[in-house]
Each structure stands twice: as C-alpha cells, then as structure tokens.
Chains A and B, each alone.
Chain A
C-alpha cells in the first residue's frame, strides 16, 4: 500500500525546536516533489513548504520563512521539517503530502498527520 507516515510531533515550549519526519512506504519518494501542510485546531489547511525531488528548489510560506527548514533523504525514503523558534501559532497537525510525477501538482497522497503543540 502506498502511504506516508509522519512522526516527531509533541509538546514543545515557545522558542523551542522540533524535527518532523515523513517516511514513504510502498513507493520511493525520490521521484516526487513533496510538501508539508498544517492545520491548526478547528481551522483550515495551510500549505507550509515544498521541495523538489532533487532538493534543488525549496519554497516556504511567509509565516514560517526563516524558522522552518525542509529537507529530504531519498536514500532513506524520508522527508523532514526542522522547526525552530516555535510559536503558539505553530500549534497544528502537520501533514506531509506528495506531488504526483508529471505536470499536475495536486497532492495525491497524504500522511495521517502528527500533532505539534507549542505551549509553556
């Protein structure tokens, strides 16, 4: 079965750091661009970051630019999100999501999400 599995979420104090991981299963992520999307409790979806298959192009939402870093290790079939200087407003479920191979960039596979809570 093709799936993505996130891990690394938890409770962290404001100003702290956390590293999220997303592992591909049933397929190799090396061919795909990948994304992180988050959803604050009771709120809508917010795209966070994008990385191409070779890591040559990376984009961030303005809300996380300078604090979050997306990366990937294709040999480990994994995607990462390093989150620094965390704020209360970063509290959310974080999903990784796959861009399919080809010109279409809608997110066809999503992970189950990992919860990040920023609170003292």
Chain B
C-alpha cells in the first residue's frame, strides 16, 4: 500500500501568515493527490484535486503543487476561517490513503 506522510502534524500561525504543509508519498503517485479541510464535528471538504486544481468555490489563497512523491498545500494569507485540520489523500492506487493530518492552530 502507498503510505502518505504529512508534516508538520501541528502548525501554530497567525492571521495573515503564509502557511505551507507538506505531503510525501511512499512511491510515485503522479499528480493523483487531493487536499481536504476538516473542521471539528464536520465532514471533510475538498479543496484541491490533481495536486494543483482548485475545487469550485475554494478561495484563491489556497494553492497546491508537486508531483511524483512530494506535494505542498500553501495558504497565502491565513484567515480566521482557515484554522482547521488538513489532510492529503492519494488516489493513484485502489486504496485511497490519507495522510495523518496537519492541525493549523491559532498562535
């Protein structure tokens, strides 16, 4: 199975900060990677698919990059609504593995 490793596990940041989360795959997944945002008690929400394509309605401060085994999610200017947990997910192989999550906290 393909393993997905996110870093950091927790990130403390302030409103207006530029934030970057990294996701590494244990083998190449081309660009078959998605990013999700989850808030407490809510279902995950798709932010980005195919590594860098923004889902409809997602603010442009979110961006994704990478291919192969290394990927990043960047929030260009953190907003109060962005404090949440973020997950990457590969869909290259039949088992759609998620990363362990990165919690973005208020500094």
Chain A interface residues (CB < 8 Å from chain B): 35, 44-47, 50, 59, 61-62, 95, 104-108, 110-113
Contact = CB atoms under 8 A, between A and B. Distances in A.
User: Is chain B's binding surface mostly helix, strand, loop or mixed?
Assistant: loop
A110 B43 CA distance: 6
Q: Which 3 A-B pairs have the closest CB atoms?
A: A106-B34, A106-B49, A110-B43
Nearest to B33: A106
Contacts, number: 55
Identify which of A59, A107, A112, A113 gathers the most chain B CB atoms within 10 Å of its CB. A107
Interface of B: 1, 32, 34, 36, 38, 42-46, 49-50, 55, 87, 89, 91, 94-101
Given A104-B50, A107-B34, A44 B100 contact: yes
A108 B32 CA distance: 14
A112 B43 contact: yes
Contacts of B1: 62
B95 A59 contact: yes
